[in-house]
Structure 1
Amino acid sequence: MSLPEGVRVRVLRLVYGDQRAAAELAARLTDRQAAGLDPLPTDPADLAPGLLHDYRREIRALPEDTRLLLLLAAADQYPVATHAFLRAVAAARLDTRPLEAAESAGIAHATAGGVGFRDAWTRIAAYETATPADRREAHRLLARVLHDDTELPRRSWHRGAAALGPSGRLAAELTAAADRARRAADPALAAALTERAAALGTDPREQSRLLARAAADAWHSGDADHARTLAARTHTDALTGVLALRTGQAGEAFDALVAGAALATESVQLLARATEAAIYTGDLRRCRDAVVAARRLGVRAPGVLPALAAAVDGRYEDARDLLEATAGRCGPGGDPSRLLHAGIAALMLGDHTRAATATVRAAAAARARGLTATVSQAMEFRAYADFWTGRPRAAEAAALDALRQSYATGQDNGACHLQAALAMFAALTGDGDLCRERAAAARSYAMAHGLGLPAALAQWALAFLDLGFGRYGAAAARLRALAAFGPGHGHRAVRHLATPHYVEAAVRAGDTRIARAAHADYDRWARAVRSPDDLALSARCRALLTPGAEALDHYRTALELHADGTRAFERARTELLFGSALRRLRRRAEARDRLHSAREAFDSFGAPHCAEAARAELRALGAPATPPRGTEPPTVRLTAQQLLVARMAAEGATNREIAARLALSPRTIDHHLRGVFTRLGIRSRIELVRLLSEVE
């Protein structure tokens, strides 16, 4: 069965990477599960019953005292690791020699910390094969030896696992232990404790509340399928909205989050999530609804929410002040959500250095708190800053890592956004096939889930690719279409960011009427936020819209402003356009300097198609183009994606293995390798290994 990438990654994660178990689970999925619409099963008995049956048979063939030792070891490790096996053995004065039978059978072996199982499924089988009474006894023994203050949550876990039936006292103990686990930044343990507390509780309303809390903890720990399964039993607006924000329809997420904010104590946090939902949909007018909801609840509107509402209303100066206040809250060690909003605000202000700082700190703060699901979200917005500042190779590697994490944690909406960002990186480096593949994947998913932000970003990537190769009419047409897309299909902020590219494409295609109107609004925003980069791009647009020699002063102004900004790639484009204008006006010396500077910058960014455009201008000028094949390493001829594929191939990975790691098709990997061989002038992987070893 062919599965979507997100489902395939989660299947492998659920079965601990076991290929036989993965094949068995894939064959058992419903159509909705296989499409990613319903959560995957998480109970081991439902994942791969055939595999588990075979492993249980192996365990049952062992002597009884061996099985009991393996049960104790398994209970110590699964599903909560407590590291108490050796103490339990000592306390009960158990003889460990029977473990030799397990070692002889290749099932388990003794380690310095206790017992090492052959694999995760063997450990599960050792636990599942035992009788309920033996399991309870193993948990009681482990609970008795956990005394340290830091071990109390795990002690409570074993006490709860050993319970015969409902117990309000144990449920309260487990709930308190879960609170300790949350404070210790261990949401996975908190989820297990809270779910067990719900199972032992006697009050249905309290059980529902605990299940909702367990679902939230599971989500934060990165266990999306279990979180969605638990959430389905609670019917809580707030929880439904949080999960839909990252896995479902973003518009529905917004509605659920605003509704949940009216009922929950954490209304500010839910309104912050509603803001993110509005950003993903592209329906920024919804921000007004959230501001009204905040006023109705008597709470301060969080993050970028009021700023977006002001920007939508055209109150750019008010929006700037609100964004500055939010972007300023990017100190280390802060709340991950606030840091994320600070990064988004900084991006809107054109402050990419502060945006990078805030998003990196958001990811670090999320890791420190065990909030796995938040880490990749922060990296989605970090990608914008990396793109503009001309670090495509490092940015692409970070985005690919975040993409894998998004798929693994069930955040397919975030993965879609990252696919669109990767399409932009491919456009920057001139890799047309990869750009189109990434953009198609992003747009297909985005349209089905109402995600205007990645849909618009993917469309912009395709237009940017056309612009880089001189297909000005096609680029202008794509960007005009982007301006017409409504919420769920486009995005006002992306349309605005793409304005300088639209002006360039439209002018080069001979259509300036709409370009002038688009530039007027862009210039008003640039003057309001006072971003050097935005002002520089506005000056570049003015130069493109100004005929003859009068344009040159605008280009000079643009370069002066770029000097105080961070958008290095756009500075190189400005130099290319300036050099071209100078050449046409026969100002040869200055044109040559500008074009050489642009060529060198594009070579350093790994954008060979843009560098070639600068060389073409130099050739038209009659100046040497200075190709980068002399003293520079040959890998400079590769795009960022080609270099990544080349390194993996040189390490011995097959095309299929590389495809799995990069979330691409084997056909695309084959295309990349053929491109690598062509650009490096080699014919085999052996030559590739030799060349890369010499260079690196």
Structure 2
Amino acid sequence: MTRQRLPGPAPLRYHAGPERQEVAELLDTLHTGGGVRVVTGEPGCGRTAFLDFVSRCLRAGAVWHVRADPARSARPHSGLHTLLHAAGRSVDLPGDGTAAKALLAAVDAKAAETPLLVCVDDVHLWDSASRAALGYVAARVHSEGGRAGLLLTVPGHRPVDREWAGLPVLRLGPLQPGDAAALLHDVTDGAVDPAVCDELVTEAQGNPALLLALTRRLSPAQLRGHRALPRPLADAEALTAVAGRCLTGLPPDRTGLLLAVAAALRATGEPDAEAELVRRAVDSCAGWSAGVPAPEAWRATTSADAPLCTGRWPETLLLAEGRLRFRSALLGRAVYAGAPPEHRRAAHRALAGVLSDAHTVPALLHRSWTVTGPAPVLAAELAAAAADPASATPPGLRRTARVRAAELTPDGAERVHRYTAAAGQALLAGHSSEALRLLDAAGSGPAPAAVRGRAELLRGGVLLTDGPVDDARESFLLAASLLAGRSPEEAAVAGLGAADAAWAAGDLTACLTALGHGTPAADEGTGSPVADGTAAAATGTAVDGTGAVLGTARSSSAALPRPEHPALLRDYRDGMRAVLLGRFGLAADPLKRVVERGRPASGPEQLLRSAAAALMLGDVTAARRAGARALAAARTLGSAALEARALEYLAYAELRAGRHQLARTHAEQGLRTARRTGQRNTAAHHHAVLALAASIEGEREHVAEQVTAALSTARRHGLAQAATLAQWAAARADLGAGRPREAADRLGPLVLPGARRGHFAVWMLAVPCFVEAAALAGRPEHARTVVQDFALWAACGADPQAPAQLLRCRALLAAPEAAGELYRRALDRHEETAGDFERARTGLLYGKWLRRRRRLREARVRLGEALVGFERCGAHPWVQQAAAELRANGAAPGGAGTGELSRLTPQQLRIARCVAEGATNREVALSLSVSTRTVDYHLRNVFATLGVRSRVELVRLVEQAVRAEKTSAQL
């Protein structure tokens, strides 16, 4: 039986995790044996929508689908009568045992005719007799099989009833951020601003019902980002709308306990609280809401050694190893938000009173939430505790403490300072939107120039990773002017930040101005080719296996203003400026000093600056080493923001080393981190790297997807560099697919003089691809001018591949009597550098040239070498080109075409192996940083190419291939 494909536009596509795989397996088992799932999840997780979707998925079979009716639950067997009535059956149910057997007989009889799926929503609301009968049937189906399947939904904020004990449980987890954004995009018809979308997704924490409730709160202008969002975004009304029904009918004393737990969690940021602490806090209160005292019965059960007794205390809480937590985190949020303010203050006062150390961050936070006005002494204590480096306080809690300290501070300058410190902590954790909100709060009050300068420096760092880069440049320039004369080191960092922003925007004049030099024309006697971007291509470079230079001169410390050694900043600025002006001899010494200072460094900012300097020098080994150490340092520091940046540098360095598959791995990791931390600009660069890597491997749909994603942000935020890299990747994919005319059309505007020429540090790097495309398309005259420019770039010495590429370009445009010698010289130069892909491209072009001149034996040698080189680096379309040329030459390529899996593209092979390991389509998509739709598309092609009809057959085929590889290796 072929596995049923779950339709894309149904609600389950937003829950594309393990549950999708389990439902597919359940539907399959209806034809081979029965299956049972007890579906649960927190309030608002979509249990009802999930059941509705699954009930529609069974096309060949019968579905009995009912929802429990609380109004009829008092009548014995009312649930069974409802189910059998929906099934069109009339069965007498005289007693419990007979009822269970009668229901089992009815299910077996229908399942004998056709596959049967029984869906019961909110089965916990059924009467006890009906629950017992259905539990009996579910247990029999689960243990004995059959052609019936059962899906029963129960709430996840309370224990599962005993009738369903021992049955498989399917818990609907939270939506992943990408899935939540897709849901929001669909329900708003794409009318939501990306920044607003990010805030809503973060606030909803993966809960689809809460996400929709928050969306309904907003006006069209707020959704589009034209008006400020309400604060708090998830207020008591929204939370109660989703989870309030679960709290209905609780006595006041139990509500008080829930509030105590919720308040304890808020002050620690942890998922659970110490039960003994909560017990002592409750014991210290005379009573909770309405003055009702806390009963001894449940108060005793909160102690660490007391047995779990759900009849004595709220079943919405779970006690384990002496710690209390809510079964649903959303419920805890609803309890706290919905409590009257005076009750919240009483809970915090009680908790603060029982903590042993009154000077810890949690104790101070509890105290702070008991006051309603300015409290300068308490604010100072909070700020000091949050800044204590010896404290083990988590970064998120430090940020909360800094914000609360700012709120309690009456002095304007000190308040701005504390808001800025909190914003820095938010940015360090990767919460860009929160950092901007805190900076806006900081800007609302008066403050000295130095304090305002640091706030603008931080704002520039936020916008550089997630906002229009022109706005980031202006913030940096303002920070530099405010800090000049007051903090020279921070002013220098702000100047470099402005240069970084100008670099990302492709504004060479602004970049040099920010570096303190003025315009290129002001540099007398440089003889620099900077005006056309030739020498500028060296700045912040990273060269991949195609000879492409991927530039990034962005200094990481611009995002987080930390003091750096003045000499290091000066060397970095001087080296970067000299490279931009084409003075490579003057750039070497200061940049080498930056690299050397980075070797013993432990801070991620300094290590990333060292990596950038190494990339400018062309020292790929040092760049990779510094990038890897920066990544480790960022992870140790807990800085998700710097982690995404370090992965970007690593990806560039790997591309330069000709290791595009490793670059792809780092870019996939970096993209996930950038998405999680809201760094859309950084994500755009990772998309561009992924597009470049995929263009080598020939995954045209993957290239198109990554190019679209990169350009979507690049065009809105002015990222000229990312846009140029993405467009170049699309053209290289065309060239690999044997479409030189389309490639030439794409590349022409990027490399030829004119207003549309690409980023000043990137366009030159696409010249070899353009020359090849133009020559193969029969337009060699279009490429002669840019070859002269490329010769200037090759003479710079920063790109070891460029001299060989230059010779190849000249061979493509040369007369027949000169081309052969140029190709041979190009191949000789390739021997001096690493990188299979570029050498194989030259060999393929030379082999084609030889074959056209009937020098078949020589052509066969060159084409065979090219084929092996392309195979080694996974360049699938070029493998096909080389194999086709060999066949046309009269030789059949051997070895590579054997085996079933060899017919797959590299991306298809990756997906096939992931699926064979048991990954769902969504899990594959997350691991490869592509959409689920792309995985579906490739998987269909895999099935068609290999002639398999199900995942089971695919698993078998992959396992056979793995065994064959092991056997071959042993031989």
Smaller-chain TM-score range?
A: 0.7 to 0.9
| 1:247-270 CA-partner distances (Å, limit 9, x unpaired) | 221112112112212223322333
Distance 1:168 1:377 in 2: 38
- 1:279 corresponds to 2:503: yes
Inter-CA distance 498–619: structure 2 relative to 1 (3 Å threshold): same
Distance 1:401 1:38 in 2: 34
Whether the 8 Å CA contact 1:175–1:194 is kept in 2: the answer is yes
Whether the 8 Å CA contact 1:387–1:395 is kept in 2: the answer is yes
Q: What secondary structure sits across from 1:162 in the alignment?
A: coil
| 1:613-668 CA-partner distances (Å, limit 9, x unpaired) | 1112212222222262325xx44544444344445555666657766776655543
Give the AA of the match of 1:342. Answer: S
Q: How does 1:159-308 map to 2 (within 5 A)?
A: 159-180=367-388, 186-235=394-443, 236-264=455-483, 265=487, 266-292=490-516, 301=569, 305-308=573-576
- 1:671 corresponds to 2:937: yes
Other-structure match for 1:52:
240
Distance 2:279 2:754 in 1: 68
- 1:427 corresponds to 2:695: yes
Inter-CA distance 92–321: structure 2 relative to 1 (3 Å threshold): same
- 1:15 corresponds to 2:207: no
The alpha carbon displacement at 1:428 in A equals: 1.5
Distance 2:813 2:707 in 1: 30
Other-structure match for 1:153:
361
- 1:369 corresponds to 2:637: yes
Distance 1:692 1:14 in 2: 42
Provide structure 1 residue ranges, at least 5 long, that are not aligned to the other structure: none
| 1:434-463 CA-partner distances (Å, limit 9, x unpaired) | 322322332233222211011101110111
Other-structure match for 2:842:
574
The alpha carbon displacement at 1:211 in A equals: 1.6
| 1:385-419 CA-partner distances (Å, limit 9, x unpaired) | 33454544444343233223222222122222222
User: Highest CA radius of gyration, 1 or 2?
Assistant: 2
Distance 1:116 1:588 in 2: 76
Distance 1:625 1:413 in 2: 44
- 1:61 corresponds to 2:249: yes
Inter-CA distance 551–233: structure 2 relative to 1 (3 Å threshold): same
Give the AA of the match of 2:213. Answer: E
Q: What secondary structure sits across from 2:602 in the alignment?
A: coil
RMSD: 3.7
The alpha carbon displacement at 1:278 in A equals: 2.1
The counterpart of 1:523, out of the listed 791, 800, 815, is: 791
Whether the 8 Å CA contact 2:757–2:763 is kept in 1: the answer is no
Inter-CA distance 588–469: structure 2 relative to 1 (3 Å threshold): same
Distance 1:283 1:102 in 2: 69
The counterpart of 2:344, out of the listed 113, 117, 135, is: 135
Q: What secondary structure sits across from 1:273 in the alignment?
A: helix
Distance 1:678 1:329 in 2: 55
Q: What secondary structure sits across from 2:769 in the alignment?
A: helix
Q: What secondary structure sits across from 1:262 in the alignment?
A: helix
Identity value in percent: 38
Q: How does 1:299-338 map to 2 (within 5 A)?
A: 301=569, 305-331=573-599, 334-338=602-606
Whether the 8 Å CA contact 1:388–1:569 is kept in 2: the answer is no
Other-structure match for 1:340:
608
Other-structure match for 2:318:
109
Give the AA of the match of 2:686. Answer: L
Whether the 8 Å CA contact 2:267–2:365 is kept in 1: the answer is no
Q: How does 1:574-593 map to 2 (within 5 A)?
A: 574-593=842-861
Distance 1:486 1:75 in 2: 62
Q: How does 1:672-687 map to 2 (within 5 A)?
A: 672-687=938-953
Whether the 8 Å CA contact 1:139–1:158 is kept in 2: the answer is yes
Inter-CA distance 311–92: structure 2 relative to 1 (3 Å threshold): closer
Distance 2:626 2:434 in 1: 30
Whether the 8 Å CA contact 1:460–1:498 is kept in 2: the answer is yes
The alpha carbon displacement at 1:555 in A equals: 3.8
| 1:2-58 CA-partner distances (Å, limit 9, x unpaired) | 457876566444322112112222344454664578887673634x84443453453
Whether the 8 Å CA contact 1:14–1:42 is kept in 2: the answer is no
Q: What secondary structure sits across from 1:110 in the alignment?
A: strand
Whether the 8 Å CA contact 2:301–2:313 is kept in 1: the answer is no
Distance 1:639 1:10 in 2: 38
Mean Cα deviation higher: 442-451 or 79-88: 79-88
- 1:499 corresponds to 2:767: yes
Whether the 8 Å CA contact 1:45–1:52 is kept in 2: the answer is no
Distance 2:228 2:399 in 1: 17
Mean Cα deviation higher: 363-372 or 52-61: 52-61
Distance 2:574 2:391 in 1: 31
Other-structure match for 2:333:
124
The alpha carbon displacement at 1:78 in A equals: 2.2
The counterpart of 2:268, out of the listed 60, 80, 97, is: 80
Q: What secondary structure sits across from 1:231 in the alignment?
A: helix
Whether the 8 Å CA contact 2:751–2:766 is kept in 1: the answer is no
Give the AA of the match of 2:603. Answer: D
Distance 1:148 1:527 in 2: 67
Distance 1:280 1:39 in 2: 28
Q: What secondary structure sits across from 1:492 in the alignment?
A: coil
| 1:257-297 CA-partner distances (Å, limit 9, x unpaired) | 12212223322333333232122212132221112189xxx
Whether the 8 Å CA contact 1:281–1:488 is kept in 2: the answer is no
Other-structure match for 2:955:
689
Inter-CA distance 483–102: structure 2 relative to 1 (3 Å threshold): farther
Q: What secondary structure sits across from 1:233 in the alignment?
A: helix
Distance 2:206 2:736 in 1: 41
Inter-CA distance 311–653: structure 2 relative to 1 (3 Å threshold): same
The alpha carbon displacement at 1:349 in A equals: 3.9
The alpha carbon displacement at 1:238 in A equals: 2.3
Provide structure 2 residue ranges, at least 5 long, that are not aligned to the other structure: 1-186, 284-298, 303-307, 444-454, 519-564, 963-971
The alpha carbon displacement at 1:168 in A equals: 0.9
Distance 2:464 2:811 in 1: 42
Distance 2:879 2:463 in 1: 43
Inter-CA distance 33–591: structure 2 relative to 1 (3 Å threshold): farther
Q: What secondary structure sits across from 1:493 in the alignment?
A: coil
| 1:217-247 CA-partner distances (Å, limit 9, x unpaired) | 1122122232222222234432332222122
Distance 1:123 1:470 in 2: 59
Whether the 8 Å CA contact 1:174–1:194 is kept in 2: the answer is yes
> How many residue pairs get matched?
690
Other-structure match for 1:97:
301
The counterpart of 1:439, out of the listed 702, 707, 710, is: 707
Give the AA of the match of 1:629. Answer: G
